[in-house]
C-alpha cells in the first residue's frame, strides 16, 4: 500500500472528530477522511455523506451480511461501520486515510491493516473537562452523559494499544501534533518489506 491509515479514537466529547477533520482539510488532496455509516439519528447541522451515511438498522445489518464493512460495532444502542472499498482505493492512491472509530473498531482494523496502521488516542486532561464538553453540546441528557462516562473509562484502558496519546487541551496545539503524526505515518518502517527494499537498494 502506498498510503497510510491513521486511526483516531477516544471518548465521545474528546474532540477527536473535529481534530481529524481539521487536519484532513489542511492536508488537502494528500488525505482522505473515511466517512462511516451509522444507524443513529442525524444531529442538527450534520450532512449525509459528509459526517456519516445515515441508514436504517435493517439496511446496516444487510450490508454486514454482504461483507461490505471492514469493521462495525454497536455503540450506545446504534450501529457504526466502515467501508473497505473506499479505504483501499485511497491507500492505493497514496493518501493518508483518516479513520474516526472507537476502540472496538480499532482492534479489528489492526488485524487487517497491520503494516500501514498508526493509532492515535485522543482524550481530555481529566474527566471533569470531558463532562463539560458533553454538556455544552446541548444534545445530551444526564443519563446519556453517565453512560458515556462509563464507556469513556473502559475506552481509556485501551490506551496502551495505541501508538500515540494526544491530550486535546488546546485545539490548535493538538491539531499540530496530529498533523505531524499523520505525515510521519507515510514513512513508517512497518510499511516496507525491508529485505525487498535492501535488495532493490543494492540494485539486485
Question: If DSSP codes are grouped into helix, strand and coil, which group holds residue 22?
Answer: helix
Mean pLDDT value across the chain: 92
For the chain, the straight-line distance linking the first and the last C-alpha, in angstroms and rounded, comes to 22
SS (H, E, C) 101-165: CCHHHHHHHHHHCHHHEEEEEEECCCHHHHHHHHHHHCCCCHHHHHHHHHHHHHHHCCHHHCCEE
Counting residues of the chain whose pLDDT is more than 90, the rounded percentage is: 63
pLDDT in tens, 85-143: 788 889 999 999 999 988 988 998 899 899 999 999 999 999 999 999 988 887 888 88
Fold designation for 4-191: Rossmann fold (3.40.50)
Q: Would the pLDDT of 204 be above 70?
A: no
What pLDDT is attached to residue 1?
A: 63
> What pTM was estimated for this model as a whole?
0.82
The counts of H helices and E strands in the chain are 8, 9
Q: CA dist 105 to 82, 150, 173, 192, Å?
A: 9, 18, 27, 24
How many C-beta atoms lie closer than 10 Å to residue 35's C-beta?
16
Amino acid at each position: 500500500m502506498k498510503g497510510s491509515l491513521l486511526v483516531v479514537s477516544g471518548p465521545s466529547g474528546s474532540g477527536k472528530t473535529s481534530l481529524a477533520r481539521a487536519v484532513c482539510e489542511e492536508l488537502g488532496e494528500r488525505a482522505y477522511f473515511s466517512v462511516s455509516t451509522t444507524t443513529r439519528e442525524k444531529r442538527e447541522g450534520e450532512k449525509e455523506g459528509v459526517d456519516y451515511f445515515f441508514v436504517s438498522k435493517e439496511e446496516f445489518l444487510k450490508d454486514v451480511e454482504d461483507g461490505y464493512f471492514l469493521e462495525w460495532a454497536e455503540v450506545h444502542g446504534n450501529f457504526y461501520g466502515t467501508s473497505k472499498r473506499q479505504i483501499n482505493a485511497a491507500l492505493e492512491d497514496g493518501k493518508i486515510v483518516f479513520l474516526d472509530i472507537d476502540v472496538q473498531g480499532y482492534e479489528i482494523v489492526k488485524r487487517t491493516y497491520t503494516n500501514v496502521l498508526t493509532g492515535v488516542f485522543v482524550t481530555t486532561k481529566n474527566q471533569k473537562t470531558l463532562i463539560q464538553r458533553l454538556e455544552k453540546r446541548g444534545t445530551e441528557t444526564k443519563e446519556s452523559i453517565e453512560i458515556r462516562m462509563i464507556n469513556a473509562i473502559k475506552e481509556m484502558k485501551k490506551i496502551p494499544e495505541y501508538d500515540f496519546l494526544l491530550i486535546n487541551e488546546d485545539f490548535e496545539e493538538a491539531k499540530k501534533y496530529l498533523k505531524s503524526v499523520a505525515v510521519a505515518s507515510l514513512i513508517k518502517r512497518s510499511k516496507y518489506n525491508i529485505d525487498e527494499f535492501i535488495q532493490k537498494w543494492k540494485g539486485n
